[in-house]
Amino acid sequence: MTPSMLEFDRLTKRYGERTALRELSFSVAAGELFGFVGSNGAGKTTTMRIALGVLASDSGEVRWKGGAVDLAVRARIGYMPEERGLYPKMKVGEQLVYLAQIHGMGGRAAQSAMEAWTERLGVAERRGDEVQKLSLGNQQRVQLAAALVHDPEVLILDEPFSGLDPVAVEVMSGVLREKAAEGCPVVFSSHQLDLVERLCDRVGIIRGGEMVACDTVEALRSQGNRRVLVVAPRAGATWAEGVPGVTTLEADGGRFLVELDDSADDQALLHAALATGPVHEFATQQQTLTDLFRNVVTQEVAA
């Protein structure tokens, strides 16, 4: 194991009768962008809060570079809580300087970091305004600045993209990539799966407090069954049933979506299709994270 690694080791958390986290483990290497997805109430926020010491876990621990995350390490984490929080009546600039200082920055360094980040995130001209006077989108930018202003070594962001306009999403994505390139492990949760797919090196899917899938996007995609879209206008509804390992998912006129398990041979499928007449289209479909996610969540019902 590389030493520069953020490890979540068998975290368990119960709220009364309900188990929010069950032996949840994963790790994020330095320089890695990790996307954390799951339905509401799956345990993402709980996991992040435990890492920041806002919540205590019942068992398990979070480690950074091999050592338990304590107050000294937390001062080096940039955190964006799910429920946004800033002093509503404090000025943007002063607030960011204060937050940098309580994370251990000197007054002058805090001031210049505040100036740099408000500039970068496009809220420089609002430094003198009270936070409550800003639009929600701008408050969100300030919130991100608050997570970055003390030059953190680790970033943990809960739903950083929610409520952002497309321009701000681009700015946020750029900043996250940049921090990862600097060598920070970056963990963030999001419901915008296309974004996670585009941005992340690795993705963790959590369900009912357990990690059900955790790998690179590529690996996750190859994990599932292949799907093929076949357009054969003269084919009957049951043309593919004779091919071993193939299931028809959708049939709409001449358009068919079929799923192939590991034993299935796509060439045999193509022959079967051609046997019905002309084939206009025969395309392997890339599974999106959304499909994967849907699969994982529907398994929940079965389980």
Partner 1 sequence: MSAPTQQRQVGAAQGTWLVARREITTRVRSKAFIFGTLAIILAIGGYIALISFLGNGESTSRVGVTSDTAVIGEQLTVAGDALGQTIEVEDVTDAAAAEQRVRDGDLDVLLTGSPSEPVAVVDEELDTQLNGVLTAVVQQQALNERISEAGLDPVAVQQEVAGTTVEVRALGQVDEDLGQRLMLAVASAFLLYMAVILYGSMVTMGVIEEKASRVVELLLSTLRPWQLMLGKVLGIGTVGLIQVAAIGIVGVVAGVALDAFTLPGAAALTILSTVMWYLLGFLSFAALFATAGSLVSRQEDASSVTTPITLLAVLPFVIGFPRLMNDANDTVSAVLSYVPLFSPTLMSTRTALGVAEPWEIALAVALSIAATGVFVWVGGRLYSNAVLRTGSRVKLRDALRG
Q: Minimum Å distance from CB 77 to partner 1? A: 7
Q: How far is the CB of 25 from partner 1 (least distance, A)?
A: 22
Q: Which of 87, 182, 188 is nearest to 142 (CA)?
A: 87
Among 39, 75, 169, 279, binds partner 1 (CB under 8 A): 75
Give the separation between CA 48 and CA 20, rounded to whole angstroms.
Answer: 12
Q: Which two tokens stand for residue 197?
A: 């797919």
Q: Does 20 bind partner 1 (CB under 8 A)?
A: no
Choice between 67 and 233, CB closer to partner 1: 67
Identify the burial level of 132 via C-beta atoms within 10 angstroms of its C-beta, where 0-12 means exposed, 13-18 middle and 19 or more buried. Answer: exposed
Q: How far is the CB of 158 from partner 1 (least distance, A)?
A: 10
200 scored as a contact of partner 1 (CB under 8 A): no
Tell me which residue has tokens 């996610």: 293
Give the Å distances, CA to CA, from 243 to 240, 253, 258, 276.
Answer: 6, 20, 11, 13
SS3 assignment for 49-101: HHHCCCCCCCEEEEEECCEECCHHHHCCEEEECCCCCCCCCCEHHHHHHHHHH
Residue type, 234: R
Say whether residue 90 binds partner 1 (CB under 8 A). Answer: yes
Q: Please, which residue, 82 or 291, has the CB nearer to partner 1? A: 82
Size of the site for partner 1 (CB under 8 A): 42
| 293/302 Cα distance (integer angstroms) | 15
Among 10, 84, 120, 255, binds partner 1 (CB under 8 A): 84
Name residues contacting partner 1, limited to 95-134 (CB under 8 A).
98-99, 101-105
Asked if 72 is part of the footprint of partner 1 (rule: CB under 8 A), the reply reads yes
CB distance 58 to 45 below 8 Å = no
Residue 22 or 84 having the CB closest to partner 1: 84
245 part of the interface to partner 1, by CB under 8 A: no
Interface with partner 1, residue 235, by CB under 8 A: no
Positions that interact with partner 1 (CB under 8 A): 2, 4, 30-31, 49, 52-56, 64-65, 71-77, 79, 81, 83-90, 94, 98-99, 101-105, 146, 153, 182-184
